[in-house]
Amino acid sequence: MIKSLLFWVIILICGSAFAKSTCADIHGQQSYPPLDIKVGTICFVQEPVLNPKTGTQIGADAISLYYIPNGNAPVKAEGRGLLYDDTPGEIVDAFSLTADHGHREEIFVIHSMDIRESLVEPNSSGKFYSVAVFDPFGNTLRRDERASEWFGADYSWVSDGRKKIYEYPYKSKSDVQQAMNSPFATLMSDDEPISVRLKSKSYLFEDPNVKSKTRKYLIERDRVTVDKATAGWCQVEYSGETKPLVMWLMCHALDANVQENNRN
């Protein structure tokens, strides 16, 4: 009788020790349904933001990603988390896509938040969007800073007081999927410049934002190379002048049919 009782106690202890962790085991409010991927589960948890030097709460909350590798305990994602302001914002969508010809699974998180009234940019939506990319490596989940910067962050739209002059291009899963097939997507991991042409006359910007517009412009069929992209902006180098010109313009102003451009 005693041996039988000990047997069942051991079974219960072992069973609890090997029970799979779930997102519900993580302290904090679940901000989005768990995302099951090939190698585990991604959890989205709202929690206080801590001062990196003192470890004390700063009085704001943000949404953190936790990774539960198959059969292991939850671990917090490495790298910067999602943006936050007075509120942690919300996750619009979270999903996985395969990269490297289907060999590597990446996690994409589309996030939005309302900017507080005292900071919001005039003639803008007031809603700020971003796309963060994370890679699972073994038992860790790491933010892919380069890919995340490629998608960037900005207001959902900005106007000149009459019409929209900029719109953040990655606000849905279909937007992200389409972007992954863009010729500019190679800049997420490759430093090789991309040769393109201008579709039409386009003004140049000092920085990737509408407030930095200059009087300089390029005209239709001007050739440029693109070596960086973020939030729908492309950094271009134009060699038609004595000194190469390196500035920004909106990527949709460029003819991205690279192969055809190179043949002409």
Distances from the Cα of 43 to the Cα of 66, 80, 109, angstroms: 5, 16, 12
Element housing 142 (H / E): strand 140-143
* Residues 6 or more apart whose Cβ sits within 8 Å of residue 15: none
Find out whether 165 and 222 touch, Cβ atoms under 8 Å: no
Q: Identify each DSSP E strand in 148-193 by its residue range.
A: 153-155, 157-159, 164-167
Residues 6, 94: Cα–Cα separation, whole Å: 46
Q: What tens-digit pLDDT sequence spans the chain (264 residues)?
A: 444 444 443 334 444 444 578 999 998 899 999 999 999 999 999 999 988 889 899 999 999 999 999 878 999 999 988 999 989 999 999 999 987 655 689 999 999 999 998 999 999 999 999 999 999 998 999 999 999 999 999 999 999 989 999 999 999 999 999 999 999 999 999 999 999 999 999 999 999 999 999 999 999 999 999 999 999 999 999 987 677 899 999 999 999 775 444 444
Find out whether 205 and 212 touch, Cβ atoms under 8 Å: yes
Residue 126: its pLDDT value, please?
95
Residue 256: its pLDDT value, please?
79
Residue from 233, 129, 209 nearest 171 by CA: 129
What are residue 196's DSSP bridge partners?
224
Phi then psi for residue 74, to 5 deg, are -65, 140
Residues 264, 197: Cα–Cα separation, whole Å: 10
Residues 47, 178: Cα–Cα separation, whole Å: 32
pTM for this prediction: 0.87
Element housing 175 (H / E): helix 173-180
Hey, is 210 helix, strand or coil?
helix
**Segments making up each domain of the chain, as ranges:** 19-181, 194-263
Find out whether 70 and 59 touch, Cβ atoms under 8 Å: no
What are residue 94's DSSP bridge partners?
109
Q: State the residue for tokens 């704001």.
A: 60
Looking at the domain 194-263, which fold is it? SH3 type barrels. (2.30.30)
